[in-house]
Amino acid sequence: MKNPYFYSLSTLLFLALTTTCYAQENTKRKDKFYTMSGAGFSIPVGESSSFMRPKFSTTLGANLGLGDKGLFLYPKISLHVFGYDELSPEDGYNNSLQRGRSTTYLLNVALGYRKIMDKFAFYGFLGAGGGFILTPRILIDPANNFATLNNRTNHIGIIEPGAGMEYNIGGANLFIESSYMHGFGKIQNRPFNAVPITFGIKPNLSKLFN
């Protein structure tokens, strides 16, 4: 069965492509520079869902317009928090940790395209980057009746295609965005894949470039 969260990403991509082909340009709006802040959640998919659970995420970034054709540069920093269950103890550890928490710190730079249709805008992007994922582990010493809990740092590269929709409210845009995050690295010997869904606001600072 296909994961239902892929339908939301597919729908946004379809809207972006449809608007690109059929919508007319609106020349009244200037979209050169936005800051963005958002919150939401990130759903682990594929093999990642066997040991991770969605909790919450936050994102900070910017959209910098490139030329007059809708292209923009999209750097962002993402923090995703997951529930975490170890499938088996790591080497040197004697117990599997259950109901723990894993946190990602990821930097991504993407190239995107935005199409404006009156107060609405649709966009798609493709980016890559990297960072690290902290995963907890536990060592129990029954002889001394104590446990040691620490984090392992897993360095990882990512590629992230995605799409979003914006609604203009004057000096800012409200937005919803979804993407597919594929990690070039493994957690618990399994690939890392997730679908972040983000809601937030993009203040329009384009006047700085006038």
Residue 187 to residues 30, 48, 55, 148, 201, Cα–Cα distance (Å): 43, 8, 18, 21, 32
Residues forming a β-bridge with 3: none
Q: Find the largest Cα–Cα distance for the chain.
A: 73
Kindly report the pTM of this predicted structure: 0.78
What pLDDT tens digit does each residue of the chain (210 aa) get? 444 444 444 544 444 444 444 434 444 456 788 999 999 999 999 999 999 999 999 999 999 988 778 899 999 999 999 999 888 777 777 777 888 899 999 999 999 999 999 899 999 999 999 999 999 888 777 777 777 788 889 999 999 999 999 999 988 999 999 999 999 988 988 999 999 999 999 998 887 666
Q: What are the tens digits of pLDDT across the range 57-77?
A: 999 999 998 877 889 999 999
Instruction: Give yes or no for a contact between 43 and 197, defined as CB atoms under 8 angstroms apart.
Output: yes
Report the C-alpha gap between 210 and 208 in whole angstroms: 6
Q: What are the tens digits of pLDDT across the range 83-98?
A: 998 887 777 777 778 8
Report the C-alpha gap between 52 and 98 in whole angstroms: 10
> Which letter, b or e, does each residue of 29-67 get, where b requires 16 or more Cβ atoms within 10 Å of its Cβ?
eebbbbebebebbbbbbebbbebbbbeebebebebebee
- Which tokens hold the place of 69? 């054709």
Q: Taking the domain 5-80+109-125+158-209, which CATH number applies? A: 2.40.160
Instruction: Give yes or no for a contact between 127 and 159, defined as CB atoms under 8 angstroms apart.
Output: yes
Residue 26 phi, psi (nearest 5) = -110, 115
Other Cβ atoms less than 10 A from the Cβ of 158: the count is 22
